[in-house]
Chains A and B, each alone.
Chain A
């Protein structure tokens, strides 16, 4: 029983970490809370649904298609909406309301295009793996593996490449990044695109086990906010820790008590955590 919950928690935690990483990346470089993150996750699910199930193409190709699709949406949002509001914005509320607007917009487009119905895709790998008395469907093992690979890939990108270094610089100090000769607009756009693509990839991965429907975005947005509140907003290790913790707690909660009670307890715990550490576990103290 415990093993089973750990296995489920591992899958949830790692894929949540992927979602939280995207959100925290966008927050760190632009100081924007991307309310549409959950909706981007949902669209990733639909991309996989169409390419993999409806068009009958290879799953890996379908998963890969999440990257250009969501990155494009991210770039459009950044270029046409956020850039203007951030340069004109007199109050930080402006970008937040804009972000909420984009979330509502994506959700409604999805509702009109795909309807209310829950969709699912056939399993990619059949079979169940037995580990220490717990059962792990092969698909879930695949999700764990892919999440780990993607997280490692992202970390390598952020910490070992030139654009990654520019992203980190931008998160630290925008003016100085300008002075170092970085094309800040391009890097910001890149950051937004990577963040959106991460949400889409997570959606595409989890499409293998969870239903895909147009309303699945908002709960994920709220969950991803919780993750970065736990770990600390704008901090890469914080996002991984927050996502992993939330996934584990959720898995144990669902196993031991009911789903909505679990979230009640999680909210209470977060409020308690914030009394002692308002900046989250890994966040830097401010103000």
Chain B
């Protein structure tokens, strides 16, 4: 194990220590601040899904729809069918993945802006479905008073006791789920499947000519994305204890993308960093919350103009520096493909760093 790897482990350990121990201790009596970290964790979960669809080269503006599906599934199962949260949580993810799979069969044939436009209208379609299916979803009134998660026991053994309304419990729940999701996506990204995803992004035709069934893999990527959207939506619903057709809208879908971009599309930790930075920054600058969307807009524009590769591409010391080179393997083939057209933007960025 060389020094760089060591530094990286120290960094990850420090971040985990802060996230799992320092933050809950500092915020234990400040319900509001704790809620913000919980929100950021859940947003990261959904954004990681969007990040996966980015990794196969599709621009997904439809994550809001799947968060909505997950949320409504949970709400309906708990309130109308008497399921426990834990059962409905899993079912929410699976249903979102199933619907994503079925849509994926059709819409993944589209590329570029066509895919983006269609997923955007998907978000709007599902909002209308939730609004119109009044028998199930109560229409515009939404579903309110959803209970917080109860105890989880398998085969008579209580694994997670009933924490009632304690927010610390919810904090650890969302943190655990975010870490599990991150590790799972990381494992996937480093595996053969991850390489296939990258290959699909660079050239679908070339990937196919290597004998890879690209239809299977792109549907797989999209279903995983929808699963993550579904579980994040489910957690949001029990966290806020209500859900409305307007809970997940086009703007939310756009923000999921924004988090990925802000962190950096080439980095797995990008969406998480993006979600935490943006959510956190707005609490620090609470007095400007009135202009939140306007500032989001300026951030989006500035980001694309001056930092198209996201926050993670800033060369923050050696730890990140080494990391960058490693992660950039993904774009190595990109570079080759584009070598006839020297990319001045990247060079200038490197000089700055």
In whole Å, how far is A280's beta carbon from the nearest beta carbon of chain B? 9
A95 to B303 CA separation, bound complex (whole angstroms): 11
A84 to B59 CA separation, bound complex (whole angstroms): 21
Chain B residue contacts of A226, Cβ below 8 A: 121
A85 to B309 CA separation, bound complex (whole angstroms): 12
In whole Å, how far is A167's beta carbon from the nearest beta carbon of chain B? 19
Q: Judge if B144 is at the interface, Cβ distance under 8 Å.
A: no
- Chain B, interface size category, equals 35 or more
Chain A 86-102 interface 0/1 with B at a Cβ cutoff of 8 Å (1 = within): 01111111111110111
Chain A residue contacts of B289, Cβ below 8 A: none
If A100-B300, A101-B298 touch, does A229 touch B117 (CB 8 Å cutoff)? Answer: yes
Chain A contact residues: helix, strand, loop or mixed:
helix
**Residue contact A271 to B345, C-beta cutoff 8 Å:** no
* A264 partner, pick from B129, B258, B298, B304, beta carbons under 8 A: B129
If A88-B345, A108-B291 touch, does A100 touch B254 (CB 8 Å cutoff)? Answer: yes
If A97-B300, A109-B294 touch, does A274 touch B107 (CB 8 Å cutoff)? Answer: yes
Q: Judge if B329 is at the interface, Cβ distance under 8 Å.
A: no
If A96-B116, A101-B298, A271-B106 touch, does A90 touch B304 (CB 8 Å cutoff)? Answer: no
**Residue contact A93 to B121, C-beta cutoff 8 Å:** no
**Residue contact B346 to A101, C-beta cutoff 8 Å:** no
Q: Judge if B114 is at the interface, Cβ distance under 8 Å.
A: yes
Q: Judge if B344 is at the interface, Cβ distance under 8 Å.
A: yes
Residue of A nearest to B309 (CB): A90
**Residue contact B294 to A218, C-beta cutoff 8 Å:** no
A109 to B343 CA separation, bound complex (whole angstroms): 34
In whole Å, how far is A235's beta carbon from the nearest beta carbon of chain B? 13
**Residue contact B257 to A90, C-beta cutoff 8 Å:** no
A112 to B237 CA separation, bound complex (whole angstroms): 31
In whole Å, how far is B128's beta carbon from the nearest beta carbon of chain A? 5
Residues B210-261 near A (CB distance < 8 A): 250-251, 254, 257-258, 261
Q: Judge if B163 is at the interface, Cβ distance under 8 Å.
A: no
**Residue contact B125 to A98, C-beta cutoff 8 Å:** no
Chain B residue contacts of A263, Cβ below 8 A: 124-125, 128
Chain A residue contacts of B114, Cβ below 8 A: 229, 233, 274, 278-279
A89 to B98 CA separation, bound complex (whole angstroms): 35
Chain A residue contacts of B59, Cβ below 8 A: 92-93, 96
**Residue contact B121 to A270, C-beta cutoff 8 Å:** yes
In whole Å, how far is B145's beta carbon from the nearest beta carbon of chain A? 25
Chain B residue contacts of A84, Cβ below 8 A: 305
In whole Å, how far is B330's beta carbon from the nearest beta carbon of chain A? 12
Chain A residue contacts of B331, Cβ below 8 A: 90
In whole Å, how far is B273's beta carbon from the nearest beta carbon of chain A? 16
A108 to B128 CA separation, bound complex (whole angstroms): 24
**Residue contact B112 to A89, C-beta cutoff 8 Å:** no
Q: Judge if A145 is at the interface, Cβ distance under 8 Å.
A: no
* A108 partner, pick from B117, B293, B305, beta carbons under 8 A: B293
Q: Judge if A275 is at the interface, Cβ distance under 8 Å.
A: yes
In whole Å, how far is B121's beta carbon from the nearest beta carbon of chain A? 6
**Residue contact A278 to B300, C-beta cutoff 8 Å:** no
- Total interface residues on A, CB under 8 Å, equals 49
Q: Judge if A33 is at the interface, Cβ distance under 8 Å.
A: yes
A81 to B304 CA separation, bound complex (whole angstroms): 9
**Residue contact B129 to A97, C-beta cutoff 8 Å:** no
* A225 partner, pick from B117, B129, B298, B308, beta carbons under 8 A: B117
If A93-B59, A97-B257, A264-B125 touch, does A105 touch B297 (CB 8 Å cutoff)? Answer: yes
**Residue contact B118 to A274, C-beta cutoff 8 Å:** yes
Q: Judge if B301 is at the interface, Cβ distance under 8 Å.
A: yes
If A85-B308, A90-B308, A90-B334 touch, does A105 touch B294 (CB 8 Å cutoff)? Answer: yes
Chain B residue contacts of A31, Cβ below 8 A: 113
A287 to B343 CA separation, bound complex (whole angstroms): 25
A264 to B132 CA separation, bound complex (whole angstroms): 9
A107 to B299 CA separation, bound complex (whole angstroms): 15
* B residues lining the A interface (CB < 8 Å): 54, 59, 106-107, 109-114, 116-118, 120-122, 124-125, 128-129, 131-132, 204, 250-251, 254, 257-258, 261, 265, 291, 293-294, 296-301, 303-305, 308-309, 331, 334, 338, 343-346
Would you list 27 pairs from A and B whose C-beta atoms are within 8 A, ordered by A residue? Answer: A33-B116, A81-B304, A87-B345, A90-B308, A90-B343, A93-B59, A93-B265, A94-B304, A98-B304, A98-B305, A100-B300, A101-B298, A101-B299, A102-B297, A105-B301, A107-B297, A112-B294, A222-B124, A225-B117, A226-B121, A228-B117, A260-B132, A263-B125, A264-B128, A264-B129, A267-B125, A278-B109
* A residues lining the B interface (CB < 8 Å): 27, 31, 33, 81, 84-85, 87-98, 100-105, 107-109, 112, 218, 222, 225-226, 228-229, 233, 260-261, 263-264, 267-268, 270-271, 274-275, 278-279, 286-287
Given A94-B304, A104-B296, A279-B114, 6 more contacts at CB 8 Å?
Answer: A81-B304, A90-B338, A98-B304, A105-B301, A222-B250, A274-B106
